[in-house]
Amino acid sequence: MKIEKVALPEKCRIICISDIHGHADDFEKLLDKCEYDADKDFLFILGDILEKGTQNIKMIRLVKKLCRNEKAICIQGNNDTMCERMAYRDDKEKFLSRLLSRPQNTYMDMAKEIGITDFSEDFDAKRERVNESFKEELEFIRDLPFAIDTKDYIFVHAGIENRQDWENSAEVVIQNVYWWLRKEHPLSKTVVVGHFPCYNFSRSGNTNLPIIDEEKCIIDIDGGCSVKWVGQLNGFIINKDGENYSYETRFLPLVPESVVTRDYNPGRSYKYLDYEESNLEIIGKDGVFIDVRNKADGTTGRIPECCTGYWNDRLHGWINLDSFVKVNKGDKYYIYGEFGEFYIGLCENGQVGMIPKECI
């Protein structure tokens, strides 16, 4: 496994950002919000710079340019590997099967830019044309390291195996392990990851903000950009002063700002919902909302019906129950969608939830 070892100076800032998913313009805005100084700050990008968003080629070129600075390092995430697999490793059958599951992807963005839209015929010749046209971009993604190692921190995309020789962790763990914050590792170093959105965990407090588990020495910084309905980009800043470290977060909503015009107090509090383990029973219906009881833990609450779905013979939900948030006149609110007479979005304090449309 390719690992970048970094010796940090006595005093510095490390700006950590993960799971940008093709949001190049938003990434630049977040760097500005973090007051990134390329001459002084370290910039660690924890993978998944590609896929899901619409600015994939721009994203590669931007990160490649930033990484000319030795203080800026990007590691490879599981979504980034899709691009280089399609370029170098997939046979025709596997390549075409990827297009069926995700027709909009980075490699096809490259192909379309040079006029190729169909790989069903002349596959080898067309792929060779794309690979040659985007040689520098593809080789940059292919050659990214899998981890960054400092004296007190390890930075990987998803997690490591529970072993002292973490460098020998399997790629499927390094890049793909889910719910890693619920696991553990034996190291004294703190492991910083992205990959799995913070909102999915109860300890997020109904936000997308980074989660710091000092007991387990794990930090998750994934803001759910392009993965959660209401996602954001997190800039997690590690301030180093000798042997002392402190943390701060700057986050960037992905939609324009709105202003709340009247107070709203829902009179209820959210209930955490584990989207995998939930087992919902419908006990009522009110327009676009359903009232449910979660048979997994006995909690009850209201959820938009479109935020639920059946798999494994159970009804699951992927936002928290009773996700109605308190706002005051003059607050900033970021609208991501709507359910009937309610908007769903992001509050300026990071809370995710719904408010009546009449409040905007």
pLDDT digit string (tens) for 296-331? 999 999 999 999 999 999 999 999 999 999 999 999
CB 19 within 8 A of CB 200: no
Q: What percent of the chain has pLDDT over 70?
A: 100
Mean pLDDT on 20-40: 98
Coil, strand or helix at 333: strand
82 φ/ψ sector (left φ>0, alpha ψ -120 to 50, else beta): alpha
How far is the C-alpha of 353 from the C-alpha of 207, rounded, in Å?
9
pLDDT at 202: 97
pLDDT at res. 243: 95
- Residue 318, judged by CB atoms within 10 A of its CB (0-12, 13-18, 19+), counts as middle
83-103, pLDDT tens digit by residue? 999 999 999 999 999 999 999
Q: What pLDDT does residue 40 have?
A: 97
pLDDT digits (tens, 9 = 90+) for 100-130: 999 999 999 999 999 999 999 999 999 999 9
**How many angstroms separate the CA atoms of 211 and 227, rounded?**
17
Residue 275 CB-density burial (10 A; 0-12 exposed, 13-18 middle, 19+ buried): middle
Instruction: Give the number of other CB atoms < 10 A from CB of residue 307.
Output: 21
pLDDT at residue 70, as a whole number: 96
What is the CATH architecture assignment of 3-77+144-253? 4-Layer Sandwich (3.60)
What is the arithmetic mean of pLDDT over 128-143?
98
Structure confidence by residue, pLDDT tens digits, 247-292: 999 999 999 999 999 999 999 999 999 999 999 999 999 999 999 9
Predicted pLDDT at 80: 97
pTM value is 0.96
pLDDT digits (tens, 9 = 90+) for 240-258: 999 999 999 999 999 999 9
Residue 138 φ/ψ region, left for φ over 0, alpha for ψ in the -120 to 50 degree band, beta for the rest: alpha
- What's the token pair of residue 167? 């460098």
What does the pLDDT average to over 70-83? 97
The fraction of the chain above a pLDDT of 90, given in percent, is 100
44 contacts 14 by C-beta, under 8 angstroms = yes
What is the average pLDDT across 177-200? 97
Residue ranges per domain, the chain? Answer: 3-77+144-253, 81-141, 257-359
* DSSP 8-class letter at 359: G
Q: Do the Cβ atoms of 190 and 221 come closer than 8 Å?
A: no
Using CA atoms, how far residue 46 sits from 104, 144, 207, in Å, is: 23, 11, 20
Q: Is 152 left (phi over 0), alpha (psi -120 to 50) or beta?
A: alpha
